[in-house]
Structure 1
Amino acid sequence: MLKFIFFTLFLIPLSYFNNWWLVQVGMMLLMFMFYFSFISFYYYCNLSYFIGCDVVSYLLILLSIFICSLMIMASESVYRYMYYSELFMFFIILLFLFLFFSFSSNSLFLFYIFFESSLIPTLFLIFGWGYQPERLQAGMYFLFYTLFSSLPMLVCIIYFYSFFGSLTFSLWLYFDYYYFIFYLCMIFSFLVKIPMFIIHVWLPSAHVEAPVSGSMILAGVLLKLGGYGLFRVFSLLIMSGLMYNFIWISISMLGGIFISLFCVRQSDIKSLIAYSSVIHMGLVLGGIMTFNYWGIFGAMILMVAHGLCSSGLFCLANIVYERLGSRSLYIIKGLINFMPSMSLWWFMLSSYNMAAPPSLNLMGEVMLFNSLVSWNLFNTFIFLFVSFFSAVYTLYMYSYSQHGMIYSGSFSFSVGYLREYMLLFFHWFPLNLIIFFVNMLFI
């Protein structure tokens, strides 16, 4: 594990020598190194220096490296205009390091430290490279929601350590309280991070004000920190979870319907994609909370699929924003006339966002459907509504942006750069590829 850490640390000086693309190639190389290093899928493989990696960690670290390298590719305008590009690159590498440590920590306290640390580079990305002055308010929402929700968890971790004497995941024995307060404090931070309906307010504002790199890492990886935290913490809270999980499943599933309806009346395209993230992560939350095999693996697969698909949609929104200077669906109409070749990618990623075959999203949603329906039959109707409205708002986004009369104030025609097509291909291709290798995860 240390070889990956040192490799990443040595990328930091490269960013200050203005070797923008060399850093990106380095991140891609790191991804291949990591991919081929973990050929064994036992519970903790390559254990060293309080850093361990199991299947969930492996997938999410791989996703983190991939998304961080694509963030660099998507943010070419920062490099082109020399807008503090060295500092920008430094924050991306720092954020990746914190994510790497979070997903591979072997101790609950270390996980908490790095979980909170990942907030800092993201906040600087929003503050420093966001688009509007409202980014300050969005950053404050993001900061205080995350901090206030995680402080009770810190108290619980300290209490747990005083009671049990160890915070190492693999050394936990049977420990369970029926106290609702302990259970709530331990999981509330992750519910905010996922985010669950009602406490999701910070996410759309953070997405809308963040630069494309901030939106990509938020949708692609940072939301998955919440799911990963629940994976780890629920080994402590099984009995409490069986008693109280129905609350969060009910809120998530019903919230999915409300937010789906809210998506249909969005005029800001980034806001629409952000709200769709809340819906998909609500399904992930429901799957984890059911405590069954289908739910856990369905949640894991949908987390990876959503990370790639949602990140790709934010890239598309940014490609349009760079040319037309607007995110409003009233202005970015008729894109099939404006950027004909980009419409294919809009269609591909939109169809995968609503879980069309043969995407990884479909596999995740089918597994979650099995899980949630076996937990309670009433979820059938809710899931049908969520799936239907998922198609409705995605088709609304696609048809409203691609069809119609082109806005007269825009250029007559534009083509994409090769870099942009590669960027979208790298988001789309793994969604088709991973589904053929998903049997490796079922151990």
Structure 2
Amino acid sequence: MFFFESSLMPTMILIFGWGYQPERLNSGFYLLFYTLVASLPLIMSILMLYKMNGSCSLLIMKNESKTIFLFLGLILAFLVKLPMFMFHFWLPKAHVEAPISGSMILAAILLKLGGYGMLRIINMCPHMFNQTNFILMSISLYGGIMVSALCLIQSDMKSLIAYSSVSHMSLVIMGMVSLSNWGCMGSMILMIGHGLCSSGLFCLANIIYERTKSRSLFINKGLLSFMPSMTLMWFLFCSSNMASPPSINLAGEIMIFNSIMSWSYYSMFFLMFMSFLSASYSFYLFAYTQHGNFYSGMFSFSSGKANEYLLLMLHWLPLNFLIMKIDMII
């Protein structure tokens, strides 16, 4: 619990100290408020379980959270950290105002702490998830569709990528609460794939921001003419974001979709719509940034640096080649 909360401090320091705009204070307080308020029920639930069992060991506490309030106290902090739809309002604000290092750490590592915590709680009290999985599944399915549609009206690159993270984490939650082996394994794969893909997209957005001093999609148009050397990287990461082969996102989504449709066949229609919207906002991001007439106030040409290409390739290579050795993950 101590280390779970301590992981918040580096991101807070990065946002407060190196954020881009004065609004970083508001974003930092959003992050602090949501995570700490959600952690209070977790601490109380752990103390109650300690009083009941005399130990905080997860092995001893197995199947002990028999009341719904104790169960909700255990999972609330992890649902906020993921984040689940309706608890996601802090994430776009934190991503938009954080520096590149903060956004990459937040997307690649901190969100996955919530997923790991959920997996441990599922092993601890599967019977409570069996009673509440319809509610969690419905909220995540509805939220994934709504947030995916919201991505299509964003004008800020970092905001679009942040909302796409909420959409992907909705799939992760659905895979977990389906309570199947395939669902949990698919959620683990998708969390790793999303960490690599989303972090790479934030890196690309920062590379453009350093040249144009803007994150607006209306200004950052026609980058195929302005920065042609980065167009291939934009295409590779946008295609991986929509789970195209050979990315491990594809393997994760196939396993999650299979587990969700085994839980309820009617969810297939909503998943089809969600997949369509996911492909739509990924194409929207690529097409809007790379095509069209570039802003006249920009320089005529710019090229990427060697360390930028190295950083991007270190994200893309494991994202696409881990599928050859998928048993390393699961």
TM-score of the alignment, normalized to the shorter chain, above 0.5: yes
The equivalent position to 1:169 in structure 2, one of 58, 61, 72, is 58
Structure 1 position 136 matched with structure 2 position 25:
yes
The counterpart of 1:320, out of the listed 205, 208, 220, is 208
> Which ranges in structure 1 are unaligned for 5 or more consecutive residues?
1-111
3-state SS, counterpart of residue 431 of structure 1: helix
What one-letter code is carried by the residue in structure 1 that aligns with 2:29?
M
**Per the alignment, in what secondary structure is the counterpart of residue 235 of structure 1?**
helix
- The structural deviation recorded for 1:169 is 2.5
* Aligned-partner residue type, residue 387 of structure 1: S
> In the alignment, is residue 421 of structure 1 matched against residue 294 of structure 2?
no
Q: Show the counterpart of 2:7.
A: 118
Q: Report if the CA contact (8 A) 2:49-2:64 is conserved.
A: no
Partner residue, 2:157? 269
Alignment size in residue pairs: 330
> Which structure 2 residues correspond to residues 298-309 of structure 1 after superposition, within 5 A?
298-309=186-197
* Contact preservation (8 Å) 2:186, 2:256: yes
Q: Secondary structure at the match of 2:225?
A: helix
What corresponds to 2:120 in structure 1? 232
% identity of equivalent residues? 56
Q: How does 1:2-401 map onto structure 2 within 5 Å?
A: 112-177=1-66, 179-401=67-289
Instruction: Give the CA deviation at 1:400.
Output: 0.4
**Distance (whole Å) between structure 1 residues aligned to residue 194 and residue 219 of structure 2:** 27
In structure 1, how many angstroms separate the alpha carbons of the residues matched to 2:98 and 2:158?
10
Change (3 A) 1:187 1:173: closer
Extract structure 1 runs of 4+ deviating beyond 3 A. Answer: 170-174
Letter in 1 for 2:167: I
- Say whether the 8 Å CA contact 1:290–1:375 is kept in structure 2: yes
Cα distance, 1:148–1:434 mapped onto 2, change above 3 Å = same
Determine if contact 1:176/1:238 at 8 Å carries over to the other structure: no
1:264-290 Cα distance to aligned partner (Å, 9 max, x none): 000000000000000001100111111
Distance 2:2 2:122 in 1: 19
- In the other structure, the counterpart of 1:99 is none
> What TM-score, normalized by structure 1, do the two folds share?
0.73
Quote the offset at 1:315 in angstroms.
Answer: 0.1
Q: Structure 1 counterpart of 2:227, which letter?
A: M
Q: Which amino acid aligns with 2:278?
A: S
Equivalents in 2 of 1:173, 1:200: separation in Å? 29
The 1-side partners of 2:93 and 2:247 are apart by 29
Give 1:174 shift.
3.9
For 1:171 and 1:237, how far apart are their aligned partners in 2?
12
Alpha-carbon distance, 1:359 to partner: 0.6
Rate the CA distance shift 1:367–1:119 in 2: closer, same or farther, 3 A: same
Looking at structure 2, the residues matched to 308 and 342 of structure 1 have their Cα atoms a distance apart, in angstroms, of 18
Q: Secondary structure at the match of 1:437?
A: helix
Deviation of residue 173 (structure 1)?
Answer: 4.3
Letter aligned with residue 413 of structure 1: F
- Alpha-carbon deviation of 1:235? 2.2
What is the rounded CA distance, in whole Å, between the counterparts of 1:122 and 1:263 in structure 2?
Answer: 24
User: Could you tell me how far apart the structure 1 residues matched to 2:296 and 2:62 are?
Assistant: 66
Question: Contact 2:183/2:256 (CA < 8 Å) preserved in 1?
Answer: yes
Is the CA contact (8 Å cut-off) linking 2:58 and 2:124 kept in structure 1?
Answer: no
Instruction: Check the 8 A contact 2:45/2:73 in 1, yes or no.
Output: yes
Partner Cα separation in structure 2 for residue 221 and residue 245 of structure 1: 25
Q: Which runs of 5+ in 2 are unaligned?
A: none
Give the conservation status (yes or no) of the 8 Å contact 1:176–1:239. Answer: no
Q: CA deviation at 1:321?
A: 0.1
1:405-430 superposed Cα distances (whole Å, 9 cap, x missing partner): 01000000000000000011001000
| Residue 411 (structure 1) aligns with | 299
Cα distance between partner residues in 1 of 2:309 and 2:329: 30
- Cα 1:173/1:389, change in 2 over 3 Å: closer
Structure 1 counterpart of 2:26, one-letter code: Q
TM-score under structure 2 normalisation?
0.98
- Tell me if structure 1 keeps the 8 A contact 2:53–2:60: no
